[in-house]
Amino acid sequence: MKKWTAGILGAILTIGITACGNNETTENTATGNTPAATTEASAPAASAEASAPAATEEAATGVPTVDELIKKSTEAGQSLKSFAMDAQIIQKISITQGETTQDQNSDMKMKSEFIKNPLQMHQVVQMVVPGQEGEQTVEQYITADGSYSHAAGQWMKLPAEMTAPLKASMEQSASPEKQLEQFKTLSKETKITEEGDNYLLTADVSGENVKELAKSFMSQSGGADAQMTALLDQMNIKSMKIIYAVNKETYLPAKTNVDMVMDMAAEGQNISLDMKMSSDISKHNEIADFKIPDEALKAQEAQMPTTPQQ
């Protein structure tokens, strides 16, 4: 049961982290492979075409259309050399079997700094997870020359086998402005408003469309393995609300908020999940470098666990 619950947490966290800005690679363009533009999301794409007149109508109000914001944000993103992102993912999970209900809540906070050329990242993750006492903290540096992680008071150098997936995820995180692409196929559900210095794009999604969107999130993040996909298929994703903010002057990303409500039944149990994700993006082009601690550079390389021979 613990392994099964951990699988659910992994699937949902994958969606969560991706929805907060990890769903595009740095090499993709505005017309490339995007979370909502994959073949899995062909149904929402049809809705986007049908809603084109609504987007044109919004243009008459002086507020940019979805396509205009995507284009301008993508162009602005070409000059984005570095940025910081503070993110939080809060999950409330309730597991009911018969008359017994167990709550398993988690809270993850991430402070990240990205430099895009050469691509490198410094990140501190603080987690409160079910089954572990207190707050767990992990700090990591990922660079072209090596990756280092600090946990439980000790630094270690990560082997290449562990570094590869981290770098793949980091590449997707390094272009947060391209998250706007998902709104291209959600035009019918999207409203554009103004709030202070930002344009807000808000989309409320429900039904099968949200499940396909969630699958696309997982696929883009590299988290769509067979187990996670099977778990997602069993989930009844009731709703997903996405809010994305773009600065009016620079057209650079400012923040994202994603709320998801879902439930599922398996192994005689009913699971309900309420997840809230948020991220604030700042320090655009203000981060020139970060220094890796000497203790990290001198740390021993971690050993990958050996696989028993059959």
Which residue did the predictor score with more confidence, 292 or 21? 292
Q: Which of 16-20, 38-42, 106-110, 278-282 is predicted with the least confidence, judged by mean pLDDT?
A: 38-42
149 membership: H or E segment, kind and range? strand 147-151
Q: Which of 5-14, 30-39, 52-61, 73-82 is predicted with the least confidence, judged by mean pLDDT?
A: 30-39
Q: What is the DSSP letter of 22?
A: I
Q: Which of 182, 196, 199 is nearest to 245 (CA)?
A: 199
Burial class (CB in 10 A: 0-12, 13-18, 19+), 267: exposed
d(CA 157, CA 26): 25
Mean pLDDT: which of 74-78, 110-114, 224-228 is highest?
110-114
The mean per-residue pLDDT over the stretch 260-273 comes to 86
What is the band of 184 on the pLDDT scale with cuts at 50, 70, 90?
confident
200 membership: H or E segment, kind and range? strand 198-205
212 membership: H or E segment, kind and range? helix 208-221
pLDDT, residue 32, reads 35
Q: pLDDT > 90: what percent of the chain?
A: 35
The mean per-residue pLDDT over the stretch 120-147 comes to 88
Which residue did the predictor score with more confidence, 32 or 71? 71
Q: Which of 117, 97, 236, 244 is nearest to 176 (CA)?
A: 244
Q: What is the DSSP letter of 255?
A: E
Mean pLDDT: which of 58-72, 193-207, 213-227, 228-242 is highest?
193-207
Q: Which of 107-111, 140-144, 178-182, 223-227 is predicted with the least confidence, judged by mean pLDDT?
A: 223-227
pLDDT, residue 163, reads 82
Which residue did the predictor score with more confidence, 202 or 186? 202
Sheet of strand 119-128: strand arrangement? 154-157, 147-151, 136-142, 119-128, 100-116, 82-97, 269-282, 253-266, 236-247, 198-205, 190-195
Which residue did the predictor score with more confidence, 9 or 184? 184
What is the band of 218 on the pLDDT scale with cuts at 50, 70, 90?
low
d(CA 253, CA 280): 9
pLDDT, residue 200, reads 94
So where are the chain's domains? 2-208+224-288
